[in-house]
Amino acid sequence: MVRVRYAPSPTGHIHVGNARTAIFNYLYARHEGGAFIMRLDDTDLERSTEENIDSMLDDIRWLGLDWDEGFLKGGTLGPYRETERKPLYDGCLRQLLDEDKAYRCFCTKDELEAERRKAEAEHRIYRYGGTCAHLSAEQVAKNIAEGKPYAIRLRIPQEDVVVHDLIRGDVQFKSEEFDDFVIARQNGIPIYNFATVIDDALMKITHIIRAEEHLSNTPRQVFIYRALGFDVPQFAHVSLILAPDHSKLSKRHGAVSVGEYRLEGYLPEALINYLVLLGWSPKDDREFFTVDELIKEFSLGGVGKSGAVFDKKKLTWMNHMYLGRKDAASILTILKDDFAEQYAAAFGGLPEDKTLAAIDLTKGNAQVLPDLFRLARNIVQPDVVITDEKSQEVIGSPEAKQVLQYLMEHFDAIPFGQGDDAMSSWVEDLRNQIPLPAKKLYSPIRVALFGAKDGPEIVKLFLMLEPSSIHERLQKALAL
């Protein structure tokens, strides 16, 4: 059975790159009928705080990436925090030392630095010289008895490593690139590469899907798998997410945390859809997928090798499309939960059915959720607020005065209460009654009734608002 894992280091918030990795693992597990495991790589004790863990889990849950086994859920192959697994690492270190596949290195920091400087002076790549590789058992025992600190290094065979990557094909690493590298520091804490191999092997992870920046770690991890007698899993290294200028994505390009996108008013389904399409291509030209559709369609064969460019404008457009399709009741629930203060200020004390109707009318014009407080406000509140300059220019134009005067003079002819068809016909017939281009005819009406030149259809505004409210809004707009 396919078993994949998401193993974040809880040293901060989850950013878009981390989120995409988690999503790819989740989709692959669900597509293959496998298991999605959550593990915490929390050996960075200074930065792995409980606050960061809670924030990370909130983001994962908000995205809907429910894990089958792991942290907080348990399972037969735990524990699922690296800080609770040290006895397992110590056992593997003893095994390697007993089998002479690893050795204690008593070299000091100054000695190693001197080696490094000598290599630089001789214009060659630095590799550990193997000073401690062949110490006798007696010398090792003497050093330990004297209390000399030591790291533990893995003995590396002089052979090339070929990593078969499910996205990139065969990737070859030459033997001269490696020396006997450290697998446990002098304080006894194993390095990342050592701990993650043991975790993945003992948790029976079959596929490791991660960012391409980890590709350089892979040959070292392969050496560790082989030394411990573990099966090597299959690897898939996903391309990086790039900024629009093809540099590394940073916060100034929109690489904020998942939690910040939530606070800005993006929907989880829109963020998932957008991030999946950064690096994965469906078999057709579709852009919109439900999570169930992504699970059905997703495959590693559709993941590209090239970096994907992050475009926040495209994400915002996609979010706008999702908002237009989402039912008003679901939107209302999110507004109450995630934007409680703004909700109370905009809709507090109003009947819920009126708020729902206002959301339903304006959701198609919102880019992000907080836009609805501004858009729907002018539907549910008695006074219309015109905030943008272009809409103010529209209402101050001579054409606006002509249109608004006509509506006030013929107000009794508006077919209130006669149904959608009658209202649609009346709105359409305005073009015959007022000799103006459609834009100059209808924009002043929308600004008068809604407060902005872009927004809901004119017919829907006349159907939604009370006749007395429409009369008052037209009158106030004409006064402007």
Give the DSSP H or E segment for 4.
strand 3-6
Strand partners, 236: 209
At 118 the three-state DSSP class reads helix
| Cβ burial, residue 382 (10 Å; 0-12/13-18/19+) | exposed
Residue of 213, 215, 207 lying closest to 170 (CA atoms):
215
Strand partners, 74: 70
92 marked as part of a ligand binding site: no
Residue pair 148/106 in contact by the 8 Å Cβ criterion: yes
Residue 251 annotated as catalytic: yes
Strand partners, 15: 257
132 marked as part of a ligand binding site: yes
134 marked as part of a ligand binding site: yes
Q: Which of the following is catalytic: 73, 142, 248, 251?
A: 251
Residue pair 235/208 in contact by the 8 Å Cβ criterion: yes
What are the start-end ranges of the E strands in 177-324? 182-184, 207-211, 234-238, 241-242, 308-309
> In whole angstroms, how far apart are CA 379 and each of 40, 372, 451, 469?
48, 11, 9, 10
Q: CA angle at residue 380 from 378 to 382, to 5 degrees? A: 75
Task: Give dist(CA 155, CA 92) in Å, integer.
Answer: 14
Beta-carbon count within 10 A of 128 CB:
19
Residue of 151, 173, 363, 163 lying closest to 267 (CA atoms):
363
105 marked as part of a ligand binding site: yes
Residue pair 215/171 in contact by the 8 Å Cβ criterion: yes
Residues 6+ apart with CB under 8 A from 36: 4, 5, 6, 25, 26, 29, 30, 65, 66, 67, 68, 69
Residue pair 459/392 in contact by the 8 Å Cβ criterion: no
Residue pair 331/269 in contact by the 8 Å Cβ criterion: no
* Buried/exposed 292-302: b ≥16 CB within 10 Å, e otherwise: eebbebbebee
Report residue 122 CA to chain centroid gap: 46
Task: Give dist(CA 329, CA 76) in Å, integer.
Answer: 41
Task: Give dist(CA 466, CA 469) in Å, integer.
Answer: 5
107 marked as part of a ligand binding site: yes
Identity at 153, one-letter amino acid code: R
Report the catalytic residues: 251
**Binding positions for ATP:** 251
**Binding positions for Zn(2+):** 105, 107, 132, 134
**Binding positions:** 105, 107, 132, 134, 251
